[in-house]
A = this chain, B = another copy of it.
Amino acid sequence: MNTIGHLINGQLVSTAQRMQDVFNPATGEVSKQVALAPKETVEDAIAAAQAAFPAWRDTPPLKRARVMFRFKELLEQNADKICEMIGQEHGKICHDAAGELQRGIENVEFACGAPELLKGEFSKNVGPNIDSWSEFQPLGVVAGITPFNFPAMVPMWMFPLAIVCGNTFVLKPSERDPSSTLYIAQLLHEAGLPEGVLNVVNGDKEAVDVLLTDKRVQAVSFVGSTPIAEYIYATASANGKRCQALGGAKNHAIVMPDADMDNAVNQLLGAAFGSSGERCMALSVAVAVGDEAADTLVAKMQAAMKNLTVGEYSDKNNDFGPVITRAHQQKVVGYINSAEADGATVIVDGREPSISGYENGFFVGATLIDGVTPTMQSYQEEIFGPVLQVVRVATMEEAMQLINDHEYGNGTCIFTRDGEAARYFSTHIQVGMVGINVPLPVPVAYHSFGGWKRSLFGDLHAYGPDGVRFYTRRKTITQRWPSSGVREGVSFAFPS
């Protein structure tokens, strides 16, 4: 059986004492095994990164950027292979994997602009004949810890930008679907990255804790669930590191009475069920303002959902695939059950999908639940599955209050045709990423990604301009030159 190891100092390393199964979630079968790095292996990776740092830091940004230009080419040339790897281990349909990869490539494209992005600020004459400027220098060894749901994209939110800024990197991707991540890291080496600049270790909490506590690691970027994000943020901070930790979400769409309802339904389909809802930007709650809007929405969603097909990654006709594990499948079903038990109405029921030929796969069908209320557990927690819940409210203020009261503040959206409603919403909603008639308002690579409240811990958002600031450290130099007589033509001598 295929064993997936680590990439340290440019070399694949696969010896391990502990291994973990990697599943094909569409069949439920174990397809590979991944090595779980012990403390020593992670320390080797950190040491490799530490050793590679001085030379990489001193490489001009333009040269570092050119590695990214070549990396982009290689990613595009090998896109099908990467999407296949994602499909086999994560289960997402190939067109969805291609979308993920494309988003990752956009971060590489942004990283190609490093020479511009790294410009510091120069001030002439802060005092008489005194100049001062700020430089943004790399930090040193930086760690990234990434989740299973975007094995290609989320790592590429981090390491291309960190590396192009002059840092060296240790990445611990999800052990659920490690192959595409590792392959992408190899492509970056093929693009000309010096050994040791990017290192990948697979592992679990043991590996994570080394990254959080080792003094050589300067900063940690994390994407995952909120409880883990909190642990990461508190632990990395207590160890004196800078940290950005992105957590969970419960993304609401407000559907206003004046919305273009067909458009809203069409958008919600992809936003709620795409990638089985295993996205931190998935729209999982539709808040309909007024019963008329709600009735229309539910009726049209119900009709539209009939055309959704669930299945295996390689069939392009499928809309989405299985969830990541058997346990997660059961957890999602459990939330649907609890909503029903709490009095909500399951309008479209995905609890027992029948996928011919894939009876053992970890599938959940697209599910629509009406009559959900804020006190239900299914409303309060992140389901991370293909489940859209409808909450009915009387006014837009009520809808906004719901969102502002929720512990998460990652993404949100409003469907309306009204300028005033949209502006009021975007101004006053306590959420970091806001869509106006855009259901998945993931910022483009040249803006930055980040939620508010318990969806992100830290000062700076991920990737984009904030990413540049996160991966660099300001140094301010103040300079005055006393006359040495050279200019005035008087020759000078050293003190003797």
Which residues of A does B touch, CB under 8 Å? 58-62, 65-66, 69, 72-73, 106, 109-110, 112-113, 115-135, 137, 230, 233-234, 237-238, 240, 242-244, 256-261, 263, 289-290, 292-293, 296, 394-397, 416-427, 431-438, 441-450, 452, 454, 457-461, 465-466, 469-470, 473-484, 486-489, 491-492, 494-496
Offer 7 A-B interface pairs, CB within 8 angstroms, sorted by A. Answer: A62-B126, A122-B134, A290-B489, A418-B481, A426-B477, A432-B475, A436-B479
Q: A230 — which chain B residues lie within 8 A by C-beta?
A: 240
Is there contact, CB below 8 Å, between B242 and A238?
no
Contact of A123 among B120, B131, B289, B474 (CB under 8 A): B120
Cα–Cα, bound, A393→B52 (Å): 29
CB distance from A390 to the nearest CB of B (A): 16
Q: A454 — which chain B residues lie within 8 A by C-beta?
A: 240
Is there contact, CB below 8 Å, between A484 and B434?
no
8 A-B pairs with least C-beta separation: A237-B237, A113-B113, A420-B481, A120-B122, A418-B486, A436-B479, A234-B238, A441-B478
Is there contact, CB below 8 Å, between B495 and A257?
yes
**A482-B446 CB under 8 A given contacts A419-B418, A434-B477, A495-B296:** no
Is there contact, CB below 8 Å, between B289 and A489?
yes
Q: A475 — which chain B residues lie within 8 A by C-beta?
A: 426, 431-434, 452
Q: A258 — which chain B residues lie within 8 A by C-beta?
A: 484, 486, 494
Q: A133 — which chain B residues lie within 8 A by C-beta?
A: 122, 133
A113 to chain B: closest residue by CB: B113
CB distance from A23 to the nearest CB of B (A): 34
**A118-B123 CB under 8 A given contacts A293-B495, A395-B489, A448-B474:** yes
A243 to chain B: closest residue by CB: B237
Contact of A478 among B238, B443, B481 (CB under 8 A): B443
Cα–Cα, bound, A470→B466 (Å): 12
Q: A416 — which chain B residues lie within 8 A by C-beta?
A: 419, 486
Is there contact, CB below 8 Å, between A486 and B256?
yes
Cα–Cα, bound, A100→B377 (Å): 55
Is there contact, CB below 8 Å, between B458 and A60?
no
Cα–Cα, bound, A346→B125 (Å): 39
CB distance from A127 to the nearest CB of B (A): 6
Extra contacts, 9 of them, besides A425-B487, A461-B476 (Cβ < 8 A), are A62-B109, A69-B72, A118-B123, A121-B122, A123-B447, A395-B489, A432-B473, A434-B476, A441-B476
Is there contact, CB below 8 Å, between B257 and A491?
yes
Contact of A106 among B62, B118, B261, B427 (CB under 8 A): B62
Cα–Cα, bound, A417→B61 (Å): 26
A465 to chain B: closest residue by CB: B121
A296 to chain B: closest residue by CB: B495
Cα–Cα, bound, A101→B478 (Å): 21
A461 to chain B: closest residue by CB: B474
Q: A132 — which chain B residues lie within 8 A by C-beta?
A: 441, 443-444, 447
Q: A292 — which chain B residues lie within 8 A by C-beta?
A: 495-496
Is there contact, CB below 8 Å, between B457 and A466?
no
Q: A296 — which chain B residues lie within 8 A by C-beta?
A: 495
Is there contact, CB below 8 Å, between B466 and A474?
yes
Is there contact, CB below 8 Å, between B420 and A487?
yes
Is there contact, CB below 8 Å, between B65 and A109?
yes
**A437-B128 CB under 8 A given contacts A122-B121, A123-B115, A487-B418:** no
Q: A61 — which chain B residues lie within 8 A by C-beta?
A: 123-125
CB distance from A86 to the nearest CB of B (A): 22
A437 to chain B: closest residue by CB: B480
Cα–Cα, bound, A492→B486 (Å): 14
Residue of A66, A122, A129, A259 most packed against chain B (CB within 10 A): A122
Is there contact, CB below 8 Å, between B479 and A469?
no
Cα–Cα, bound, A7→B437 (Å): 43
Is there contact, CB below 8 Å, between B457 and A460?
no
Contact of A434 among B129, B424, B478 (CB under 8 A): B478
